[in-house]
Structure 1
Amino acid sequence: MAEGREHREYRMEELAREAGITVRTLRFYRERGLIQPPRREGRIAWYDDHHLARLRTITGLLDRGHTLNGIADLAATFDSGRDVAEVLGLGEPTEETPVRLTPEKLADYFADEATAENLSAALDLGYLATDGDEIVHISRRLLEVSAELVREGVPLSAVLSSGRLVREHADALAAHFVRVLRTHAADTDPDQLRTLAHAVVDAELSMALDRQLRDDDAPRPAPDLRGQDT
C-alpha cells in the first residue's frame, strides 16, 4: 500500500484479498468494465476504496441472483447518474427524508425489478441520485411506497410511470396554490400554506378514489342479446 496518501490504495493482490475474490476474477471484472481503471504510477496500478466498494457490490448483487451482464448495465447506469447535489439543489426537501442506499440494499427493496432500465428511469425522474459509492433516494416515503407496490405485484416500470404522471399534476397543483395565496393572502405563512394545500389535495384524492372504486365495483349490465341469432 502507498504511504502518506489521503485515501487508502491497494495493489491488485491486496484489493483482491480485501474483496474476497481472486486476482483472476479481479482482472476479469476490470476487462468487462465492471470497475473503473486504476490509477497508474509507471507500471504499478493503484486501486482505492471506491474500487473495493464496487467489488463488494458486485459480490452482493451476484449473491442476490443478478447476472454479470445485468450488473454491468446497472454499473454503467449508476456511473452516469446525476450527482445528489444536482437533484437536491440548494437544500434537502423540506418535508421528505432522503435515504442513502448501497446498490445491494436497493436490490433488496426491488429484487429483480432493480434493472438498469428502471434505475435509469428513476435517475431521470429524480427519485435517485448518486453520491460517491452510494445511491440517494429523494424520499423515504416514496421509496417505501414504491417497494410496497412492487411487492403487491405492480411492475416497478409502472410505478415509475405513475410517479412521473403524479409529478406533473403535483407541480401544477403546487403552482396553483402558491399563485392563489400570493394573490389573495400574501402574508400566509409557508407552513400554513403546506397544511392547507395538503388538506385540499388529500380530501379531493380520497373522494376521487371513492368514485373510481365505486364505479369499478358497480355491476355491469348484461349484454342485450335480443335479435341475435342463436
Structure 2
Amino acid sequence: MTGGPEYTIDELARAADSTVRSVRVYHERGVLPPPEVRGRTGYYGAEHLNRVRTISRLLDRGIKLNGIKELLAAFDRGDDLGDLLGVPESDQLPREVGDDQAVVTATDLQQRFAEVPNGFARVVTAGVFEPVDATTYRIADADLASLLDRLELAGVPIAAGLGEVERLKADCDRIARRVVDLVREHAWGAFSNSDRTAADIADFSARVDTLRVVPGHTAPGLLNRLIDRQLAQDVEISAVLNPDS
C-alpha cells in the first residue's frame, strides 16, 4: 500500500457505512483482499474502501456474494466479462426497457471504463449505474450519467470525468449533511419540545421543506457566477473569451 489514506478495520467499516462483521465476512468469502499487516494491526487503503462500497451496492441490488465474487475476480484479472457471463455479441449494445431506462451489458460498461483504474467498480459505487442482474446494468442517476456524457463530449477524458462526478457527488453529500445539521439544530429542537400536535407537525414540516429546497434553488446561480469569476481571473482564458475587454 503506497500513499493515500489508511484505515483500520473499524475505520474502514465506518467510512463505507458498513460493519466490522460485514468486512470480516467479505474476507472470509474471498471478495475483499486482505489488509497490509503491520505488527498486529491490518491497514486498508482506498481500494479496499471502494471495494466494500461496491459490494454493499451490489448486495443491495440482489446480487449474491458468490456472484459478486465472480464479477470482482474477473475485474481483478482483467477478464472479458462477456465471456465470463456468457453475454452474446447481439447483447453487447445498449437496450431500452420500461420507463425509457437505458440498459447496458456489464461488458459494455467494463469496456467503457477499461482505461480507468477500478473504473467499473467506481462508476457503480458513485451511483451512476446500478445492476439489474449479474449481466445487465442500467442508469441509476440520470443527472450524474448526463454529466459524465457531457464532460466526455467537451473533451474531458473518461478518467477525469469520472473523478469529477465522484467529487461533485461528495460535495453535494456534504451540503446535504449540513442541511440535516441545520434541521437538527434549528427545527428539531423546537418540535421535540412541543406537544407534537397536528399544527406542530405542520410547522416542523414547513421548516424542513424550506431548509431542504433553499440550497438547490441557490446553488445553480451562485455556482455559475463563481465559475464566471474564476474564468475571468484566468488571464489566458479570459483573453480568448473576452478579446475586447
- TM-score w.r.t. length of structure 2: 0.45
- TM-score w.r.t. length of structure 1: 0.48
Structure in which a larger fraction of residues adopt helix: 2
Which one scores higher on RCO, CA 8 angstroms, separation ≥ 6? 1
Larger Rg: 1
